Structure 1
Amino acid sequence: MEEAGFPGQHTTTTVTSSTTVQTNIRFDPSYIKTVPGILKVIQVACSLLGFVCILVSKFGVLSQGTYFNWIAMIAFWFTGILLGLYLFHLVEKFYKIPWLKIEFVFTALWTLLYLIAAILVGTAYYDNAHTAATFFGSVATVAYALDAFLKYTAVRAGGLAQGSRVVSKQTASVSPPREGY
């Protein structure tokens, strides 16, 4: 007879996780063909092109253009350096750093800052340079928003920035042996 308070069976769940990374530094141009790689290339290109558009404008030294250039240059350097880190698998070498969380915070913040910058230069002066900068700022905003969404989903899933993590879950039900009467 079963004792009160003890179930007739219990379930054991075992979760195992294995992380596979290669810690050697190597150049891998195939990263540019992935969705995060394509987004980084778009972000770097739009940041540089938007910066140049404001730079050649005769109104570029005013506050809206200065703000846009400040946002564009920080985005250009931060994203460009990250692109280089991914291309040479340095992110994978230092996989213990929470790269996805860092990138998520940056891309979410830069989505908002680029949106503000694109609106400011779009409504400031109606010359061709500001119109082009608005276009590049808007494309950068969309690219950063998509990247932030991808980073958010990867962080929630427990993914790695580079390398692979395999999580397996095994559930077993065990029943105690029955006593004879």
Structure 2
Amino acid sequence: MDYGTRPQRISCQYGYISTIPGILKAIEFICDAAALILGAVAPTITFTGHKGFFTFVAALAIIITTILFLLALINIQAVCIPDRWLVIEMSWCALIALLFFIASIVVASVAKYNGVYGAAAFFGFAAFITYVADAINRFRLLRAGPRSRHTETYTSNTTTTTTNVTRQQPTF
């Protein structure tokens, strides 16, 4: 039986965690969480808008990144809209990278008043770099063409499952 012709199903893909997009999502989550915590606990200086915008960007990033990670983990992207999923994630990464860049510059400008702002700016810039790397990876996969972007290999300790969305007729 040719398993490459089976339709995609919603199932838990534990192997996604060890792929490049999965690792990038984990790093994004860690940077987002650290930025959110540091931005929220920073003392309020007379510039309250700096802290508020940075906290908003970090909270938005952690929520949407967690949702996208869970959707990829249960293989929703391969079932619902596989042709547009890379564009959606690439656009999200580019948008949140831009917002993190702006918010980190704003917070870094008040870092001279308190070191917590400096640490928050550091994790904001780290999140910015990670989101840019993720957007570049998505762009690279998008440019590689439909065959390579629909074929993903997830490896676990016991089995290897290759998922091929493109439908090919079996040869006899």
- Structure 2 equivalent of residue 140 of structure 1: 127
How big is the shift at 1:27? Answer: 1.8
Matches within 5 A, 1:7-156: 22-59=7-44, 62-96=48-82, 98-126=84-112, 127-156=114-143
RMSD: 2.5
Could you state the TM-score of these two structures normalised by the residue count of structure 2? 0.77
Alignment gaps of 5+ in structure 1: 1-18, 169-181
Could you state the TM-score of these two structures normalised by the residue count of structure 1? 0.73
Q: Is the Cα contact below 8 Å between 1:104 and 1:151 reproduced in 2?
A: yes
How big is the shift at 1:161? Answer: 8.6
Q: Which has the larger radius of gyration?
A: 1
Aligned partner letter, 1:153 = R
Q: Is the Cα contact below 8 Å between 1:25 and 1:90 reproduced in 2?
A: yes
**How much identity, in percent, do the aligned residues show?**
30
Secondary structure (helix, strand or coil) at the match of 2:150 reads coil
* Larger helix percent: 2
Cα distance 1:72–1:20, how it changes in 2: closer, same or farther (>3 A)? Answer: farther
Aligned residues: 150
- Structure 1 equivalent of residue 157 of structure 2: none
Alignment gaps of 5+ in structure 2: 153-162
String of CA shifts for 1:5-38, please: whole Å, max 9, x gaps: xxxxxxxxxxxxxx86753222222211111111
The structure showing larger relative contact order (alpha-carbon pairs under 8 Å, at least 6 residues apart) is 1
